[in-house]
Structure 1
Amino acid sequence: MRRTVKRWAVYALLGYGLFALAIYYYLYGLASGGLPEIYKGTSADPSVFLSGAEQALAQKYSTIKNFLFFISVPFEWLVYLFILVFGLSRKFEEWSKGTVRFSFGQTAIYLFYLSFLTFLLAFPLQYISYHYSRVYKISAQTFPQWMKNELIDFWVSYVIMTVLVFVLYALMKRFKKKWWLAAWTLFVPFTIFMMYVQPVVIDPLYNDFYPLKDKKLEAKILTLADQANIPADHVYEVNKSQETNSLNAYVTGIGENARIVLWDTTLNKLDDDEVLFVMAHEMAHYVKKHIYIGIGSYLVLAFFGFWLAAKWMEKLVRKHGEELQIQELSQLRSLPLLLLVLSMMMFASSPFSNAISRFEEKQADAYAIEMTQNKEAAISAFQKLAREGLSEVKPPWLVKIFRYSHPAMAERIYTIETYPLPDKQGKKMEENRGVSAQKSRN
């Protein structure tokens, strides 16, 4: 058995190294193509709104972040595999059972060992990502501020995971074959509950949320909300400038806890018309029921995910249980295997979920253009978002399908510029595009 385990470890390390080299070659070699001709000379052309130095910085920063993403995901799989094959998971389970007798306490202790070890092993890559965010002036956090958020992440995840894992393994013991169905049945109300409490319980752990200070701007936003038949009394502002220089706004929560949130960096760097377009975009997610569609899609995928994970794990334990030191699935020591399987399935399904999200974002952009009738503000807002966040205007194909839940900036800006509006502004945009193209040719 030990020989098999050593062979697995060698193959896993070799495969990870080859994958890292392949991704490096793809990002730094093959994926360095130019801007498609269709965007050149338009508002989507980065040379129109970014200097040469800014374009170079955006390219370097994006490539680094993309590389870190692609090597971090399989690194997580490698960690779970090594914890299994070298017996660490079995040891954690034995230590937890030797410490307390009641099962919830055993789950909490086991999960602390596992969470702390994975946190330590993932920390170098997390720190490298933070370091480059500081170097390229995206992050405004000091190391203590960043570390504070990392520790909050650890403890929030630990508390939630302890409850989930305890319930899950209780179901595994109670329902030997159909545990996955029972788990999914409880997962549905849990997901809805978390969506409901996140804006008012979890998010405030990281930042301060308060009603928008600029009451004139808030009145304009609430007028838009009224036009869209959205029952809103406040727009929320969050103090993200102490963490980042990038811009963002989003919709979170459901029911009476649903919130439209603006980062203060967005308010500081966009003018009122640009902010109104951003807000109209976020309102579109409410009007188009994207939050509920997202929850529904997530739960459907989770159903098949639980089923597939159960079948996959049963097969692995039946065939390799001795090497993995797992006799049955209901043992706590099988958790790294479950996390490994779920992580791999989530990564494999991300192109599908990202494609749905990009489609919804296109719908929200179109809704916002029609509501505000201000294409110039929309274009300038996205140009500023790209500049401040050092966004990759036209990402490589693999990066787009695995990382981008929003359309790429070049695509979004060009779509807005060419979006038909039956008014004077549509003609004005066409004239401006012609001027830009002429400048580009000259």
Structure 2
Amino acid sequence: MAKKWVITALLMFGVYALLMYVYIFHSGSGGIPNALKGTVADPQLFMSERELYLSEEYSKIRNFLFFVATPFEWLVYLFILITGLSQAFERWMPLRKKWSILQNAVYLFLLSLFIFFLLFPLDYYRYSLSKKYGISNQAFNSWMRDNVIEFWVSFGTTVVIVTVLYWLINKSPKKWWLNAWLLMIPFSIFLMFIQPVVIDPLYNDFYPLTNKELETEILTLAEQANIPTEHVYEVNMAEKTNALNAYVTGIGSNARIVLWDTTLNRLSENEILFIMAHEMGHYVEKHIYFGIAGYILTTLVGLWLTAKLMPWVITRYGRVLKIKRLNAIHSLPLFLLITSFLLFVSSPLSNYISRYQETRADQYAIELVADRDAAVSTFQELTKAGLSEVNPPLLVKWFRYSHPPMLERINKVANEIETKE
């Protein structure tokens, strides 16, 4: 029975991967509409032939990797369950019936380490791919350092979450999902609060913007937008990447507007001010808080669905998956598989909401700075720096794009300003 499951899963994955390969590499979708050819949104006008070629090639490979990586992760969870590895990890836990957090830590360390090594070739290929196409310039030892930090940060938070989760399952088999959700709310807000000052600095150095004249310009914009802020932060990313970025992170007194130094080095002052106006738009529109509310709501639905699906799967297929009971920690890979699947299938909705918010932030930036040339050139530079696909295929847009494609963004800001003029 287990062998049949493995063969079936591999065949399904193979057929799925083949279909996605054909769709991404040979469907011919994602071209430039005739109506936009020759406009400022047409990459033929602002990208070189080599940039266009690399952008198309790089985007296709990245898109294909995205669509196969998550289902491959599901196969890993299934393999861990069917082979009995999850039960074996549980049997190796010391101090049985004592110090449950230590037992869980041992189990999670073995599970996380196994998954880390199994997925490492795929992660390394992504890293080498970004170096090959000139997006990343990060040395291997620096990249490995970031991976190790991420492993331990994830491990630490997972130990706490899983220990509480299985304690709740033991205490309340019927309502554990609701109790877990109620505890998740303050925990998630706490993590968002400490993210900018505790977690992010583990990876990079953050400091107030060194260009004080530019900071004054940005703070003037912030004052016009009624945003109470004293500093704009920059982060040293030039030693890791050639891509450009700026973002808003944190909540409350720890909220920060952050600029990558690559953005400062490559863009003009007017372009940087447009980006800052965009980030201020997120603040003014309260997108961070809407995001928190959306996360809380989707987590409630996700936990409820997981609580319904896990007992059904264990009752029907527990023998094949080698899961004896729901409240045993060796059932965790099934929990991870289900939640990963739910996140994947719900990503088109979350991405749609995110794209709407990004469009709103773009509109706010246009109204605040009213600089068409800066808006257009900013998006053009972002496209070139990241070798972005300006008009991706529909499925790629639905599942991957939390921001509107650059073709839409450039065309929209250009039309918005022209209309106002």
Counterpart for residue 11 of structure 2: 14
Matched to 1:270, the amino acid is: L
Greater CA drift, 36-45 or 71-80 = 36-45
Answer yes or no: is 1:250 the counterpart of 2:247: yes
**Superposition map of 1:33-432 within 5 A:** 33-97=30-94, 101-420=98-417, 426=421
- For residues 276 and 92 of structure 2, the distance between their equivalents in structure 1, rounded to whole angstroms, comes to 52
> How far is 1:41 from its partner?
1.2
- Once residues 153 and 418 of structure 2 are traced to their aligned partners in structure 1, the CA distance between those partners, rounded to angstroms, is 47
Runs of 4+ in 1 over 3 A off after TM superposition: 97-101, 420-423
In structure 2, how many angstroms separate the alpha carbons of the residues matched to 1:376 and 1:73?
Answer: 39
Q: Is the CA contact (8 Å cut-off) linking 1:281 and 1:368 kept in structure 2?
A: yes
CA–CA distance in 1 between the matches of 2:97 and 2:206?
Answer: 40
Q: How many angstroms apart in 2 are the aligned matches of 1:146 and 1:36?
A: 39
Q: Distance in 2 between matches of 1:310 and 1:99?
A: 26
CA contact (8 A) 1:373 1:421 kept: no
Q: Secondary structure at the match of 2:416?
A: coil
- Counterpart residue type for residue 149 of structure 1: D
Contact 2:30 2:391 in 1 (8 A): no
Cα distance in 1 between the residues matched to 2:28 and 2:400: 15
Q: Return the offset for 1:53.
A: 1.3
Secondary structure in structure 2 of the residue aligned to 1:96:
coil
Q: Which residue of 2 aligns with 1:431?
A: none
- In percent, how many aligned pairs have the same letter? 55
**Partner amino acid for 1:44?**
A
Distance across 2 between alignment mates of 1:348 and 1:405: 15
Structure-2 separation of matches of 1:401 and 1:245: 26
- Secondary structure at 2:92 match in 1: helix
1:14-45 C-alpha deviation (Å, 9 max, x unpaired): 11111111111111101445211121111100
Q: How far apart are 1:422 and its partner, in Å?
A: 6.6
Q: TM-score, normalising length from structure 1?
A: 0.94
In the aligned structure 1, how far is the partner of 2:83 from the partner of 2:25?
Answer: 35
CA distance in 2, matches of 1:199, 1:374: 31
Q: What secondary structure is seen at the aligned counterpart in 1 of 2:234?
A: strand
Question: Where does the alignment leave 5 or more consecutive residues of structure 2 unmatched?
Answer: none
Aligned to 2:360, what secondary structure does the other structure show?
Answer: helix
Superposition RMSD in Å? 1.1
Give the length in aligned residue pairs.
421
Report Cα offsets for 1:215-261 as digits up to 9, x if no partner: 00000000000000000000000000011000000000000000000
Alpha-carbon separation, structure 1, partners of 2:327 and 2:65: 34
Work out the CA distance in 1 between the residues paired with 2:29 and 2:224.
Answer: 44
Q: Do 1:12 and 1:78's aligned partners in 2 also have CA atoms closer than 8 Å?
A: yes
Q: How big is each residue's C-alpha offset from its partner over 1:295-339, in whole Å with a ceiling of 9 and x where there is no partner? A: 101110100100000100010011111222222211000000000
Give the deviation of 1:99 after TM superposition. Answer: 7.3
1:23 aligns with 2:20: yes
Aligned to 2:207, what secondary structure does the other structure show?
A: strand
Aligned equivalents of 1:31, 1:117: Cα separation in 2: 39
TM-score with structure 2 length normalisation? 0.98
Conserved 8 A contact 2:348-2:399: yes
Distance 2:30 2:396 in 1: 13
Q: Distance in 2 between matches of 1:388 and 1:153?
A: 25
